């Protein structure tokens, strides 16, 4: 059995060097559509129409993207003759629409933040990406982020999923059980806007309608590095400047 120790050591350090360096391995992030200026008004209209969740809004020849609604169906990339512009990267954390200034944790939390994750009707993708943060390639523990099994010890409530009716009670209970000061981070488009599920008798159309959200990480699902960026932002370790500016695309 001791060979595991040896095999583990032999692998060497596998963790990404983010946030000190940019991680550029292929496939760490699917990228996302960004505001695009088309050559014709029709192209812009087409792009807006093909979007199933109305995340793309056309204004003349320009289109604006509300990433909180984008469910990453890639139709605007694959099915258009003139596709939307696509950006790589993963530093996507942003503030909720009703909030104008970012309020990260004070510096005491910077190197030690305990995270309570709640699956509020998630499809499993966002949850899985959160889980992957613990794997050696991302290894969030090296940054002082820890998952905690009890809300009593949690600083940050990380919610994935559009908040199903059956999870609304447990989610509220978890939030209430957390000590102040606490922050809430909505991860994934479903948690931000309800995503493909929209508003229905069983879905609350995002965490914002149930709890006060402090930070949002858009994406469907946001890749692990995007979530890591979100955590760093909440901990106050990524400067506010790297936050997405409140763009006109937000409607």
Residues 38-67 that bind other proteins (CB under 8 A): 52
The residues that bridge with 87 in the sheet, in sequence order, are: 32
164 sits near other proteins (criterion: CB under 8 A): yes
Contact at 8 Å (CB) between 130 and 227? yes
Spatial CA neighbour of 174 closest among 197, 201, 152: 152
**Interface residue with other proteins, options 19, 30, 89, 144 (CB under 8 A):** 30
Dump strand ranges (E) for 103-182: 113-119, 145-147, 156-160
Look at residue 134 and give its three-state secondary structure.
coil
DSSP letters spanning 171-238: HHHHHHHSPSS-EEEEESHHHHH-GGG-B-SSBBSSGGGTS---EEE-SSSPPHHHHHHHHHHHTT-S
- What part of residues 105-144 is at the interface with other proteins (CB under 8 A)? 115-125, 127-132, 135-137
Residue 53 beta carbon to other proteins: minimum distance, rounded to whole angstroms: 8
168 sits near other proteins (criterion: CB under 8 A): yes
**Interface residue with other proteins, options 198, 212, 242, 251 (CB under 8 A):** 198
Residue 248 beta carbon to other proteins: minimum distance, rounded to whole angstroms: 26
**Interface residue with other proteins, options 161, 206, 218, 230 (CB under 8 A):** 161
- What part of residues 80-109 is at the interface with other proteins (CB under 8 A)? none
- What part of residues 231-250 is at the interface with other proteins (CB under 8 A)? none
181 sits near other proteins (criterion: CB under 8 A): no
The residues that bridge with 58 in the sheet, in sequence order, are: 63
Residue 73 beta carbon to other proteins: minimum distance, rounded to whole angstroms: 4
């Amino acid at each position: 059995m001791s060979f595991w120790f040896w095999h583990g050591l032999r692998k060497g350090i596998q963790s990404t060097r983010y946030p000190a360096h940019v991680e550029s391995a292929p496939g760490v992030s699917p990228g996302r559509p960004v505001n695009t200026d088309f050559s014709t008004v029709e192209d812009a209209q087409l792009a807006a129409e093909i979007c199933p969740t109305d995340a793309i809004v056309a204004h003349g020849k320009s289109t604006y993207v509300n990433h909180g609604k984008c469910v990453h169906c890639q139709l605007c990339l694959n099915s258009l003759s003139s596709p939307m512009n696509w950006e790589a990267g993963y530093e996507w954390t942003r503030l909720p629409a009703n909030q104008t200034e970012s309020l990260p944790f004070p510096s005491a939390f910077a190197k030690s933040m305990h995270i309570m994750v709640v699956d509020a009707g998630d499809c499993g993708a966002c949850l899985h990406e959160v889980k992957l943060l613990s794997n050696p390639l991302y290894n969030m523990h090296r940054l002082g982020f820890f998952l905690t099994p009890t809300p009593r010890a949690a600083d940050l409530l990380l919610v994935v999923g559009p908040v199903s009716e059956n999870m609304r009670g447990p989610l509220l209970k978890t939030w209430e059980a957390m000590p102040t000061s606490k922050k809430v981070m909505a991860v994934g488009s479903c948690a931000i806007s309800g995503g493909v599920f929209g508003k229905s008798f069983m879905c609350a159309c995002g965490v914002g309608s149930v709890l006060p959200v402090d930070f949002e990480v858009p994406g469907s699902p946001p890749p692990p590095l995007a979530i890591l960026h979100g955590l760093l932002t909440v901990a106050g370790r990524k400067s506010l400047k790297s936050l997405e500016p409140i763009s006109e695309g937000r409607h």
